[in-house]
Chain A
Amino acid sequence: MTLLVGIFFAVAIYLFLSQHIIRMVLGAAVLGNAVNLLIFTSGRLTLEIPPILTGYETTTGMLTANPLPQALILTAIVISFSFFAFLLVLSYRAYQELGTDDTDEMRFAEPENQDLPPLGY
């Protein structure tokens, strides 16, 4: 499992390092999964017993899966989905406006060969 998390991370980061925004967006999606799995694994794994209390008595000591990371991940999934959608639309719009998907060519905010700032007072 740990090894799988590693593969997830490697792929996500490799995608991030690409110059193409679309690949970076894919990387973001994979990275989301990677982090979720990381949290999930560090909350220890138990097979097949969901954290739902059977019957209506207060039971303790029952060996259920750890509910805490699950709660964390549940929101994380939804948030990372919104984030992913936002990134996707953002890159789509950037592509529309700037006509490129290569981050090297996206120099609108930081143009190349900027002039010196004014030296007066």
Chain B
Amino acid sequence: MNSFMPSTTFAVLLLPFIAALFAPALTQLLKHNAAWILALVPAAIFWHFSGFLPVISAGEVVTGGYQWVPALKVNFSWYIDGLSLTFALLITGIGTLIVLYSGGYLKGHAQLGRFFSFILMFMGSMLGLVMSDSFLMFFIFWELTSITSFLLIGFDNKREASRRAALQALVVTGGGGLFLLAGLLLIWNVTGYSEMSLLLRSGSLLADSPYYIAIFVLVLGGAFTKSAQFPMHFWLPNAMEAPTPVSAYLHSATMVKAGVYLLMRLNPVLGDTMAWHIVLPLFGGTTLIVGTLLAIRQTDLKLMLAYTTVSSLGLLVMLTGFGTEKAIEGAVLYLVAHCLFKGALFMVAGIIDHEAGTRDVTKLGGLMTAMPITFAAALASAISMAGLPPFFGFLAKEEIYAGLWQVSFWGGLLTIVAIVGNALMFVIGFVVALKPFLGRRKLKLGNVHEGPVLLWLGPVLLATASLLTAIFSPMTHRLITSPMASAVEGEPVSAYISLVPHIGMPLLLSLITVAIGVFAYINVARLRALMIYALYKIGWGPDKGFDQFIRGTVRLSFRVTNVIQPGRMEFYMKVIFILVAVSILLPMALFDEWPAMPQWPDTISRYEAVIMAIAAVGLFSVLYAKDRLTAIVSLGIQGFAVALLFMLFGAPDLSFTQFMVETLSVVILALAMTRLRLTPTDHRALKEKIIDTIISLACATAFVLLLLKVTQLPFDTTLSDFFTRYSLSIAHGANIVNVILVDFRGTDTWGEIAVVMVAGLAILSLIRIRTRPANAIAANDPAEEDERL
């Protein structure tokens, strides 16, 4: 890694976050027109990264970064090759359009500034994700995209559906993130590399490692949740609760592609194994079919698109897993094409929703004359989605068929899956693009007209891009496709496919697809009814499962709380003291550190014996005091006995203090007790008494043993000697105790007097402030009654 690379890239990576900081203020100032300025940010980043195109297309990679925590080999570093560059360009390019589009879509929304802020933050995280070289950075950005998408999906936070969708997305993708973290750590442990760039050069180190399967499963756990693979697909359609710009951006072009990105990124090191070739196509293919079937069922434009997104992601995963050169090229082409057409179609759906007030395809019709520009963009994107020339989607589809078509069972099966999936996507594409615009004008729609320029600019530009990239396919391949495919494949690859029809198997398969598609389009209503019936029969899906999971978690935590916190002080106390006894006694028992039996002191002075006896008597009479006066007095007795003990053992200061404190304690206790109509006697049942006695005796034994052990150890007098020696010379004081208090350990004492003062304040406020509940509790207190009179 170059130690100090040009920091422009670093600044560029930070830029979206900085822009997010200023977005709300700017929006306050300029209202929705702030979009024009904010869009400059992604545009500038796009410009910056497009500057890398010549270098990357020459087959080189660019890395850079800073050391972050060198001791742990954690760096803030980036890695630019064909794959990440394409992603970066898509993120920022579409991001620019999305920012503009949001300005139009959420015009006049009270929280528009916040929205801009979120979307820019998301853009920054996504950009960071594809750019990161070090695992840690990758993971952080990965989770950041989950968090920012949570914020964006739940943007409309007043609606429950929105909150649920947001939480669901967070739980699913965040949970996947944990898998990913584990996977990355495992990779780190196995290979010793914490950076993508180094890892990619490690060859088959991972594939040969005994931990391969564990790594494989963990990485897939991350990728599949993020990229909404069946059966974790359910969060993506639900996430359509988000405002349309979010759906267009996160759920077509960027975030959901993060999982695919991860798979493509790791393809050179994790791919080309049995597991990879079987599991990925299996899940991808299932997702493809399930997604399209579910999409047919929907009548909501956005939901239809969402389910086709799920299936497109399935297709991408399938192709990545299939892993032949052509398949990878197909995946790469399809990924780019999908971003272009799906982003455009989502925006179109948003425009229709915005202008006509509904997204239900059965309620829409005849909008062509009212919204010609939108219609043109929609049609172009649908053609691309359907895989018809002259759009980029066509190239992608041809390449996919070329890649999958093999004379083998597996290849044949996947080809059929792809054909069915594509045919159904063909249907959806045209349903979205044609149904709302053609046919008779529905009466309820009223006066619908074309959206403002901020709205239609995005889809139009994306549709144009679909067209241009296809027409100038050699340049597209040279700059984008080939470098990206090479990065995924791990070795140089070049793509050649162009719009010129080439007779062969792929073309034939395309024709079949189109034929099925047209047939299905005509019968779409019947298909939909069939699907609804089928789903009704199944009746249970992962979406409901999620609800049950969340409810179960809440119930479980509730039960656990009830068990460990029953709200009984007695129970807490018992647990605490049992633990105290165990924590002292257990180590002694384990390490055989029992103290030696002490010698009974030969000469115990008479004073000592008497005082100790007094203390003991005081203590026991506290226990058995029948009325409060006895209790108070006996508490005083034991206190004074302690004071005498201090005096005996050479601590006059302590003794005085203890005397005073005990006096005051007795006084205030008496004062308080006269007003508490309490009897200090014991009401407990005998059984409880015995248990409590055992617990307290155990604790006491523990402390006695601890103390014996301590006194039997050699005594370290360093500190005491220090204080004794320097008390006079440094602190000019002969009373060492006091010198320690006010000089050597002054700060401690200072804290302590602060505590005393706070306690005083707390007591004062407790006594003075009284919340008077409206019930009769207060009537218990004689003092209260006096006051009320």
Contact = CB atoms under 8 A, between A and B. Distances in A.
Direct contact of A and B (CB under 8 A): yes
Count chain B CB atoms within 10 A of each CB in A33, A34, A103 and give the residue with the most: A33
A109 B763 CA distance: 21
Nearest to A73: B654
A88 B668 contact: yes
B766 A90 contact: yes
B201 interface: no
B707 A42 contact: yes
Contact of B699 (A13, A48, A68): A13
Contact of A6 (B566, B704, B735): B704
Interface in B677-721: 678, 680, 682-684, 692-693, 695-697, 699-701, 703-704, 707-708, 710-711, 715, 717, 719-721
Contact of A101 (B562, B678, B723, B767): B678
A74 B711 contact: no
A16 B651 CA distance: 29
A96 B778 contact: yes
Interface in A69-115: 70-71, 73-75, 77-79, 81-86, 88-93, 95-99, 101, 103-104, 106-107, 109-112, 114
Interface in A25-67: 26, 29-30, 33-34, 36-38, 40-42, 44-54, 56-58, 60, 62, 64-67
A75 B173 CA distance: 54
Interface stretch (B45-53, B184-192, B453-461, B617-625): B617-625
A52 B735 CA distance: 5
A82 B651 contact: no
B781 A41 contact: no
Contact of B763 (A53, A56, A89, A107): A89
Contact of A33 (B612, B638, B720, B741): B638
B523 interface: no
A36 B734 CA distance: 24
A13 B695 contact: yes
A40 B658 contact: no
A18 B683 CA distance: 9
A40 B762 CA distance: 30
Contacts of A33: 638-639, 642
Given A85-B759, A97-B771, A99-B777, A74 B558 contact: no
Contacts of B623: 11, 14-15
A95 to B, nearest CB: 6
Interface stretch (B131-139, B212-220, B749-757): B749-757
Given A77-B661, A95-B676, A82 B737 contact: no
Contact of A79 (B620, B708, B752, B773): B752
A109 B135 CA distance: 46
A81 B740 CA distance: 21
Most chain A CB inside 10 Å of its own CB: which residue of B608, B612, B652, B678: B678
A20 to B, nearest CB: 7
A114 to B, nearest CB: 8
Contact of A17 (B642, B692, B700): B692
A15 B699 CA distance: 13
A107 B566 CA distance: 10
Task: Label chain B's interface by main secondary structure.
Answer: helix
B306 interface: no
B729 A86 contact: no
Nearest to B652: A50
A103 B623 CA distance: 18
Given A44-B711, A81-B664, A120-B160, A97 B651 contact: no
A20 B681 CA distance: 9
B650 A2 contact: no
A6 B771 contact: no
B696 A13 contact: yes
Interface in B520-577: 550-551, 554-555, 558, 562, 565-570, 573-574, 577
Interface of A is mostly: helix
B620 A11 contact: yes
A106 B777 CA distance: 13
Given A19-B570, A48-B649, A77-B657, A70 B737 contact: yes
B567 A67 contact: no
Contacts of B740: 67-68, 71
Nearest to A75: B752
B683 A20 contact: yes
Contacts of A91: 676
Contacts of A26: 622, 631, 635, 680
Contacts of A3: 704
B239 interface: no
B680 A82 contact: no
B438 interface: no
B616 interface: yes
A77 B741 CA distance: 13
Contact of B570 (A67, A83, A104): A104
B699 A64 contact: no
A111 B566 CA distance: 9
Given A78-B752, A95-B678, A107-B567, A121 B163 contact: yes
Contacts of A92: 672, 675-676
B650 A119 contact: no
Interface string B477-496: 00000000000000000000
B681 to A, nearest CB: 9
A82 B767 contact: no
Contacts of A48: 648-650
A18 B682 contact: yes
B61 interface: no
A109 B460 CA distance: 60
A56 to B, nearest CB: 7
B728 interface: yes
A82 B756 CA distance: 6
B756 A78 contact: yes
B665 interface: yes
B649 A18 contact: no
B164 interface: yes
Contacts of B741: 71, 74-75
A94 to B, nearest CB: 10
A97 B773 contact: yes
B372 interface: no
A85 to B, nearest CB: 6
Interface string B604-630: 010010001001100110110000000
A33 B697 CA distance: 17
Contacts of A71: 736-737, 740-741, 745
Contacts of B763: 85-86, 89
B501 interface: no
Interface string B135-149: 000000000000000
Contact of A77 (B555, B569, B645, B654): B654
A53 B734 contact: yes
A30 to B, nearest CB: 7
B766 A38 contact: no
B2 interface: no
Contacts of A13: 577, 695-696, 699-700
A106 B669 CA distance: 22
Contacts of A30: 619, 622, 635, 638
14 contacts: A4-B616, A8-B615, A11-B623, A17-B570, A23-B680, A37-B642, A44-B715, A47-B650, A52-B735, A60-B725, A66-B720, A68-B723, A74-B653, A78-B661
Given A38-B703, A42-B711, A46-B649, 20 more contacts: A2-B704, A6-B703, A9-B700, A11-B619, A22-B676, A22-B680, A41-B711, A45-B649, A47-B605, A50-B653, A51-B651, A60-B721, A66-B717, A67-B720, A74-B741, A75-B748, A75-B752, A99-B777, A104-B569, A117-B554
Interface of A: 1-20, 22-23, 26, 29-30, 33-34, 36-38, 40-42, 44-54, 56-58, 60, 62, 64-68, 70-71, 73-75, 77-79, 81-86, 88-93, 95-99, 101, 103-104, 106-107, 109-112, 114, 116-117, 119-121
Q: Which 7 pairs between the two chains have the least Cβ-Cβ distance?
A: A110-B567, A65-B650, A103-B569, A10-B700, A82-B759, A13-B696, A6-B704
